[in-house]
Amino acid sequence: MTTPGASERPAPPQAVDEQPPDEPLSWIGRELDGRYRILEVLGEGGMGAVFVAEQLALRKQVALKVIRPELAGDGEMAARFAREAMASAKLDHPHVAAALDYGTLPEGGAYLVMQLVRGRSLADLIMKEGALPWARATGLAAQVADALAAAHAAGIVHRDLKPENILLEPRDDGSELVKVLDFGIASVSMDDGPAPEGAAPRRALTRVGMVMGTPGYMSPEQAMGEKVDERADLYSLGVILWECVMGVELFPGTELPAIVSKQLTEAAPDVGVVGGPPALSELVAALLARAPDARPESASTVRDALRQMTYRNSAAGPVTGSLPRVDPVSGEVSLPPFEPSLEMRLSSAVHERAPTLLAPATPAGPRKKTLLLAAAIGGAGLVLVAGLSVGLYLTFSDGGPGRPGVMTQARRVAEPEVPHAVQVKIDRMVQGTSQSTRRSAGRWLTGHEPSSEVPAWARAVGELEIARGCRTRRQALSAIRELGDVRALPSVERYHQSPHRGCGLLRQSDCYGCVRDELVETVQALGGDPNSE
């Protein structure tokens, strides 16, 4: 029995004589709206087909997804297709296949243009290789969690996350870049303006009691037709991570009642039997909790926990020391301080200068001395320096021509003790490697209550991170200059040193062109060197 509305697992390929009348091969060579030429077939499904197409003006290859004309008249199907366009267009994230364009076909139906991803699916990888090494599994799952964190921050719940919807794009260094696809049944916040033609932005695609999703990956509450939120995606991620580590399906079959019965009555086998760290077993168990409230609080928390495990294994050999811990009752994930290897500290210091270790230095030379000093102390000493430098900053200054370089002590900043949860968000905002991570932390800090728990400089940097226009960026930079706290310098320098190209239709415009002068002024006001790279 197949539950109405539930998306089925991929059917076996059709025989040649069973192809539908509108064979996808007949589309090759066709031009759409004078802008796209279809080159080859990528795949075919129940709603339509996916092609490789060429964007004629730029001669760039894209993925072009077409909904069958006979289905375009189905309001529910058309709304799902438009919903995928809206959800994908709202997300500009390295782990989400971005939507680029949307249009209608003369004979009916519609097409969606997306970023072309060349790679195999996670389902294909598991089917061919079986159980993955646990560190590889956590590395891939961390990328999926990063995509979910961005989607949830934008008000989007995927609701159909499964290995078939996760593509792995090979990189030059042999690693794999995860891309999450298929937001066709996503729950999307409609606060960002009108939807593409065919969508129903003020009408939910699903109602309480209606089941949509894939049996075996849906959370228990989703499978029973109850209201779902971001924690439903976390359950799906738990299933996927379990299957990556174990190499088999957690809930084989497609019969929804039998699967739900297992979800509600049987605990998933412990992944610890394959040699992963205890923290991995605890995290998977928390993700697969029957009650949403018992799962981790957010996708970003899960992502950070997975990164901890992965980096400790890849950078420092076998996993030792403290690891993320999961409360078996609340599902809360506790992250220990990440202690990277010496090699990682030396390589990452060039890109991200941690404010707890470094203060502004005028020329680049003295700043390098501080980096080497911190690195030479070793792991335990590095933690000690970081702990002592909350209110104390050491800087090197060459004193200008004729003056020897001296080490000076900056003023101690008198402020209340910062709560641990707030400090974690500050660290993510200042040291985060992705813009979405920094922006999410900045949004949390600027909205945190009581506001007195957030240092003024951190709140000002948070305003800069979430600013979307010239006026709000200028206001944030003005507040940072007025406060004059050197801890804001790394964040300001990141914007100041950003490329002068990368925005606009052709990616040739300066994303921060309107505030370049203010950035220089702010770097100088905080004691930094605007000419250093």
79 and 202 fall within a common domain = no
State which amino acid sits at residue 503: C
Average pLDDT per block of 10 residues along the chain, 533 residues long: 43 38 77 93 76 93 82 61 73 86 81 89 94 93 94 87 93 90 66 45 41 84 89 96 94 84 87 76 93 92 92 55 54 52 36 32 32 34 34 35 35 63 87 81 90 92 90 92 92 88 67 89 89 70
Strands in 120-121's sheet, in edge-to-edge order, are 120-121, 166-170, 176-180
Find, among 467, 457, 532, 439, the residue nearest to 493 by Cα: 532
Q: Taking every pair of C-alpha atoms in the chain, what is the biggest distance, in angstroms?
A: 87
Q: Is residue 247 part of a domain?
A: yes
Residue 202 lies in a domain: yes
Give yes or no: residues 27 and 95 share one domain.
yes
Domain count, the chain: 4
SS3 label, residue 238 = helix
Answer yes or no: do 51 and 134 share one domain.
Answer: no
In a domain, 5, yes or no: no
According to DSSP, the β-strands at 36-44 and 333-334 are unpaired
Same domain, 205 and 288: yes
Domain boundary among the residues 72, 97, 114 is at 114
Cα(244)–Cα(414) distance, rounded to whole angstroms?
49
d(CA 304, CA 145): 9
Cα separation, 153 vs 442, whole angstroms: 12
Lookup result for tokens 């926990």: 305
Q: What is the CA radius of gyration of the chain?
A: 25
Strand partners, 102: 112
Q: Are residues 347 and 322 in the same domain?
A: no
Residue 4 lies in a domain: no
Q: Residue 177: what pLDDT?
A: 94
Could you tell me the sign of the dihedral formed by the alpha carbons of 3, 210, 43, 235, in that order?
negative
> pTM score > 0.75 for this model?
no
Are residues 167 and 261 located together in one domain of the fold? Answer: yes
Residue ranges of alpha helices (H) inside 154-217 are: none
Task: Catalogue the E-assigned strands of 34-143.
Answer: 36-44, 48-55, 60-67, 99-104, 110-114, 120-121
Chain segment 82-122, per-residue pLDDT in tens: 777 777 777 888 999 888 888 888 877 788 898 898 889 99
Residue 13 belongs to a domain: no
Cis check for the bond before 328: say yes or no (omega within 30 of 0).
Answer: no
Are 162 and 225 within one domain?
yes
- Look at residue 244 in the predicted model and tell me its pLDDT: 95
Q: Are residues 68 and 194 in the same domain?
A: no
- Cα–Cα distances in Å, from 193 out to 149, 189, 202, 503? 22, 10, 11, 21
- Domain range enclosing 433: 420-525
- Backbone dihedral angles phi then psi of residue 180, each to the nearest 5 degrees: -90, 130
Which of 385, 409, 433 is the endpoint of a domain?
A: 409
State whether 302 and 253 are in the same domain: yes
Q: Are 382 and 346 in a shared domain? A: yes
249, 192: one domain: yes
In a domain, 15, yes or no: no
Q: Domain holding 128: CATH number?
A: 1.10.510.10
Question: pLDDT at position 67, please?
Answer: 79
* Residues 86, 196 within the same domain: no
Beta bridge partners of 177: 169
Q: How many CB atoms lie within 10 A of CB 43?
A: 13
The CATH number of the domain where 99 resides is what?
Answer: 3.30.200.20
Within a domain: 229: yes
Q: CB neighbours of 509 closer than 8 A, spacing ≥ 6?
A: 501, 502, 503
For residues 324 and 476, give the distance between their C-alpha atoms in angstroms, rounded to a whole number: 34
Of 114, 140, 170, the residue that ends a domain is 114
Residue 414 in domain = no
Q: How far apart are CA 22 and CA 41, in angstroms?
A: 13
Specify whether the CB–CB gap between 490 and 497 falls below 8 A.
no
Q: What are phi and psi of 145, to 5 degrees?
A: -60, -35
**Residue 298 DSSP class:** -
Which residues form the catalytic set? Answer: 160
